[in-house]
Chains A and B, each alone.
Chain A
Amino acid sequence: MKLSRFTSRFYVALGIVFLVAFFGTLGPLLFTGKDLTTVVGGLYDAPSGKAWLGTDNLGHDVFTYLMYGTRSSLIVGVISGLIATFIGVVVGTVAGYVGGAVEETLMAATNIMLAIPQIVVLVLISVALDSRSVTSVAIVIAVTSWPWTARAVRAQASSVRTREHLDIARLSGANTVSIIVFDVLPYMLSYVVMVFVLQISIAILSEAALSLLGLGPSEGTSLGLMLHWALAWESVRNSAWWAFVPPTIMLTMVAFGFLLLQSSLDEVFNPRLRRDSGRKRRKRIASARTAAEAAEAATTSGSGA
């Protein structure tokens, strides 16, 4: 892959994502001395040399909490993203490749899952769980967020199914699993990467939404939990901006960074989406109408974040 295929948008997105990732992973290693139990001041002390971003409702250092919060939000994102992408891709490829009754059953389940709002299932499962670790929150989110992936992957898989190289594979006696893994999946790999990126950002936002409802991880902290406590202790109405602005900005950066990364990867993998100015553009677009459906799937699922 030549480097010139990457747009500046891609580098901006990658920069944001790396910045956040470094902050969450290396931050706690670099700025040692305080952890989640260290109390450095009172209720909502303003930022100072002792606490760079002030203190929260219990006198904890907001900067330290922000590092650990970013870390657990990223952990939730990656774990949940991996699981949700895996389930979605398996269900989607099996349905799209095998077809017939299997496809109808799997897609019926997927469509019904899609029709029920994700937040409803998230709330019901989380309420039923007695205590919630970061991992179990991630798993709960993954279990509820795979259906759109399954539906989108199925469309791709059934278009690959009719290609001729699959006939050759079948003639040479390859079994279904090996055909799916070696002959179908590689065609969708770029799409799966984008799905994964999008699933990460959806999971991070879902975790924040759950935490705001009071159903976040019951130990440690996360960006959503920081917002939850900041709202519960009226930091907004008391002008304690340091308690809610840092997690808000961090969440926004994470969500925007991953979404931008996803849409710029789309441009890298799908050159027909790239857009320059003037006549050249119109010519290029004229040949691009077939890609409309793919883009529609990407944007509608994108707005789902």
Chain B
Amino acid sequence: MSFTRYLVRKLAWSAGALAVAVFLNFLLPRLIPGNPIDAIVSSLGRGGAEAGTLKAVKEAYTEAFGLDKSMVEQFFIYVNNLLHGDLGKSFTTYPQTVGDLIGEALPWTIALQLPAILIGWIVGNILGALAAYKSGWFDRGAFISSLFVSSVPYYCVAILLLYVFAVVFPVLPPGGGYSFGTTPEWTSAFAADALEHYWLPFLSLLVVFIGGQAVGMRSMAIYELGSDYVNYSRGMGLRDSKIVRYIFRNAMLPQITGLAISIATMVSGAVITEIVFSYPGVGTLLFNAISQTDYPVISGVTLILTVMVLAANFLVDIACGIIDPRIRAAGGVE
């Protein structure tokens, strides 16, 4: 039953991290000097919003946040709202709830990131294992270019790809998730349109993911190369492809753990990449919310990002536990 214990342990860690994130989400906006709602309402007023709307916004928020109550009470109101799935209402698009806004944006973000992370991980690891095994010019070329590609910030790759493939050679659309004037619907025409807009953001994420994974896999595989079982397999005259498969399986484990560590970076990199392409996901939502100091939306997006990363990490932990019998046996050591 130690696998269950391992899962419970991991779940407890995620829950702890989530609790801290919720607490930060609660506390930090309340650290803004003066009443945060006054500050935001007055900046909305400068933006030309009507006096009636402003008053409604202010009243709604003073009540929702319970700003006249003590901090402890406020915290419980906040947590209670969260537990009911209530993330509050947006300031700038007032009657709309934050939950709805995020619900619209989230599918785009997941559709962009999940395939990029998975394909990038697989291709990157194969490339890294091959580079370590082949050595020579292939290794040097693959390693230096992977190191270079993985150290280029996501948004830089995104900007350059956007410029080259949408402006210099206009083969792909220059941004957005779908063509201007269409609305998301379940038709093949819309799917084709969305796919066309998908390529550039997807590729710019993929290139960087592949590079990062290849660099890590190469150094893991180099150590595997010196091990007894590889020498023995060589002595037996096994085919290269077979030996590489053995090396791959052994070096893969730390790579899966590495994936857990780098998921947070990948997600935040992807969030910024969305801004470059004005892709209609949570990154662009966050960007717009920040430029309009729409605090409930900012807070909602950061919370969703935390949940996404924690959930992804937990899935990786489960995968680790299933693949590696040692983890199951030990019940998980931190």
Q: Name A's B-contacting residues (CB within 8 A).
A: 107-108, 111-121, 123-125, 127-128, 130, 148, 201, 205, 208-209, 212-215, 227, 231, 236-237, 239, 241, 244-245, 248, 251-252, 255-256, 259-260, 263, 273, 275, 277, 281-282, 284-289, 291-292, 295-296, 299-305
Nearest Cβ on chain B to A242's Cβ, whole angstroms: 12
- B246 within 8 A of partner (CB): no
> Using an 8 Å CB-CB cutoff, how does the interface string of B289-311 with A read, 1 for contact, 0 for none?
01101010011001001100110
- Quick check: B334 and A107 within 8 Å, CB to CB? yes
Greatest chain A CB density within 10 A among B213, B226, B306, B310 is at B226
- Quick check: A241 and B258 within 8 Å, CB to CB? no
- Tally of A-B Cβ pairs under 8 angstroms: 195
Assuming the contacts A112-B20, A231-B275, A277-B136, asked whether A127 and B225 have C-beta atoms less than 8 A apart, the reply is no
- Quick check: A237 and B14 within 8 Å, CB to CB? no
Contact of B16 among A107, A112, A127 (CB under 8 A): A112
- B220 within 8 A of partner (CB): yes
Nearest Cβ on chain B to A264's Cβ, whole angstroms: 11
- B236 within 8 A of partner (CB): no
Assuming the contacts A123-B298, A252-B153, A285-B226, asked whether A115 and B162 have C-beta atoms less than 8 A apart, the reply is no
Kindly list the 5 A-B residue pairs having the minimum CB-CB distance in the complex, ordered from nearest.
A285-B226, A119-B268, A115-B17, A303-B212, A117-B264
- Quick check: A289 and B227 within 8 Å, CB to CB? yes
Bound form: Cα–Cα A278–B190 in Å: 55
- Quick check: A120 and B136 within 8 Å, CB to CB? no
Note all chain A residues with C-beta closer than 8 A to B150: 303
Give 16 A-B contacts (CB < 8 Å), ordered by A residue: A111-B13, A116-B309, A117-B306, A119-B268, A120-B305, A124-B298, A127-B29, A209-B272, A214-B291, A241-B163, A245-B160, A259-B151, A277-B136, A282-B231, A296-B254, A300-B262
- Quick check: A248 and B223 within 8 Å, CB to CB? no
- Quick check: A215 and B290 within 8 Å, CB to CB? yes
- B215 within 8 A of partner (CB): yes
Assuming the contacts A259-B151, A303-B265, A304-B261, asked whether A127 and B220 have C-beta atoms less than 8 A apart, the reply is no
Bound form: Cα–Cα A209–B215 in Å: 23
- B21 within 8 A of partner (CB): yes
Bound form: Cα–Cα A239–B153 in Å: 21
Note all chain B residues with C-beta closer than 8 A to A285: 222-223, 225-226
Number of interface residues of B (CB under 8 A): 73
Given contacts A116-B21, A303-B213, 4 further A-B contacts (CB under 8 A): A112-B13, A115-B16, A231-B275, A299-B216
- B219 within 8 A of partner (CB): yes
The B interface, classified by DSSP as helix, strand, loop or mixed, is: helix
Note all chain A residues with C-beta closer than 8 A to B295: 127
Assuming the contacts A252-B156, A299-B219, asked whether A115 and B13 have C-beta atoms less than 8 A apart, the reply is yes
Note all chain A residues with C-beta closer than 8 A to B306: 116-117, 120
Contact of B25 among A107, A124, A277 (CB under 8 A): A124
Nearest Cβ on chain A to B181's Cβ, whole angstroms: 17
- B54 within 8 A of partner (CB): no
- B83 within 8 A of partner (CB): no
- Quick check: B309 and A282 within 8 Å, CB to CB? no
B residues 205-229 in Cβ contact with A at 8 Å: 212-213, 215-216, 219-220, 222-223, 225-227
Bound form: Cα–Cα A123–B291 in Å: 12
Nearest Cβ on chain B to A135's Cβ, whole angstroms: 19
Note all chain B residues with C-beta closer than 8 A to A248: 156, 159-160
- Quick check: B147 and A263 within 8 Å, CB to CB? yes
Note all chain B residues with C-beta closer than 8 A to A286: 226-227
Bound form: Cα–Cα A289–B291 in Å: 50
Shortest Cβ distance from B228 into A: residue: A286
- Quick check: B148 and A256 within 8 Å, CB to CB? yes
Note all chain B residues with C-beta closer than 8 A to A127: 28-29, 32, 290, 293, 295, 298
- Quick check: B286 and A299 within 8 Å, CB to CB? no
Bound form: Cα–Cα A251–B152 in Å: 8
